[in-house]
Every structure is written in structure tokens, then in C-alpha cells.
């Protein structure tokens, strides 16, 4: 029995590209993830609709392999170089459109605090170079999918559909 191919909307990062990405932007990872006082907010862009970003408008992602509310990030080492955690030195503040009751933090190895939203640890993607970029959306990398996060704290599938919609782009 042949399995059906993955939908064309999914993107994959080849191992060679991943290695080059890690080497070329390792310095930006530490600068981007070092946030004194995190204040995520909601931005809007087609085709994704409304989604969670940092205060400068850089996209924030969830990793499907993480379990929301578990207090654990499964993205460490090489993963955290490609997908830097959104960390803070203080308690995060709710920016525009953010539900403050969904904000939190978890403690990463080494004692840094990673910002969570609806229990999901939040990450940047090193492929995003400027505010509004969402190149990490719906990417299969390091064993699971990466997605933008809706204001309700759910994964956004390509085209702005969330998990709660009952169907997603893959089923259309």
C-alpha cells in the first residue's frame, strides 16, 4: 500500500540548508532571543490573519512536538539555534491584542525564562529577517511542524485556519 504524499503547502528544510542557516545566523539568534521585558502583541498579515509577534512585529512560533502546559520545551541545542526561544528577564506583559491570562513562562536549562502563550513555548525562526516575515510558518523541521500562533493560542495552518476550525488547509 502506497502512502499519500504530503500536501504541497508543507515546506521542509534540507539538512545542508539547516547547517548553513545555523552557521550564518548564530550571532543573530542570541541577540534576537535576549529580551529584557517581553511584551508579545497581535499582528495581522494575509494569508495568516492575526497572529502572535514580539513588540517589534517579529513572528513567534509554536513547535508541534512541545506539549502545551507541560512546562517543558523540547527544542534544545541545534533546534534552539535555528528556532531561538523567546526569552525574558522579567514577567511578560500583554501587548496589544494579547490575552494576559494566556501568558506565562517556563524555565529552560540554564535558568532562562521562555515566554509561553496558552501553554505553548514561543520561538523565533532564524530565517525571518525583518518584522512581518513568517518564513517558518507550516515548516516541517526537526521532527515536527512549526506554526504561527493565533490570538486564542492555537496553531495557525496555512491560510489562517486554526486547529479549532475543525479542518485545515491540508484537508482542502
pLDDT at 158 (0 to 100): 72
Lowest mean pLDDT among 25-29, 91-95, 128-132: 25-29
C-alpha 155/C-alpha 136 separation (Å) is: 13
pLDDT value for 11: 52
Lowest mean pLDDT among 8-22, 85-99, 123-137, 148-162: 8-22
Average pLDDT of the residues in 42-57: 96
32 pLDDT higher than 70: no
Q: What is the model's pLDDT at position 14?
A: 52
Confidence of residue 62 (pLDDT cuts 50, 70, 90): very high
Residue boundaries of the structural domains of the chain: 35-163
Cβ partners under 8 Å of residue 156, min gap 6: 48, 49, 51, 137, 147, 148, 149, 150, 162
Choice among 25-34, 51-60, 84-93 with the minimum mean pLDDT: 25-34
Q: Does the global pTM surpass 0.85?
A: no
Amino acid at each position: 500500500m502506497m502512502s499519500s504524499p504530503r500536501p504541497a503547502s508543507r515546506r521542509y528544510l534540507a539538512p545542508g540548508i539547516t547547517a548553513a542557516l545555523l552557521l550564518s545566523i548564530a550571532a543573530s539568534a542570541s541577540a534576537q532571543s535576549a529580551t529584557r521585558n517581553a511584551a508579545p502583541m497581535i499582528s495581522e498579515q494575509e494569508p495568516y490573519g492575526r497572529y502572535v509577534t514580539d513588540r517589534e512585529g517579529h513572528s513567534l512560533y509554536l513547535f508541534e512536538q512541545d506539549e502545551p502546559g507541560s512546562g517543558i520545551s523540547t527544542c534544545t541545542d541545534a533546534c534552539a539555534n535555528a528556532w531561538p526561544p523567546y526569552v525574558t528577564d522579567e514577567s511578560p506583559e500583554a501587548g496589544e491584542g494579547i490575552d494576559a491570562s494566556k501568558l506565562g513562562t517556563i524555565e529552560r536549562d540554564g535558568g532562562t525564562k521562555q515566554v509561553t502563550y496558552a501553554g505553548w513555548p514561543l520561538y523565533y525562526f532564524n530565517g525571518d529577517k525583518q518584522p512581518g516575515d513568517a518564513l517558518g510558518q507550516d515548516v516541517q523541521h526537526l521532527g515536527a511542524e512549526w506554526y504561527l500562533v493565533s490570538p486564542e493560542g492555537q496553531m495557525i495552518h496555512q491560510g489562517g485556519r486554526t486547529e479549532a476550525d475543525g479542518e485545515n488547509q491540508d484537508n482542502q
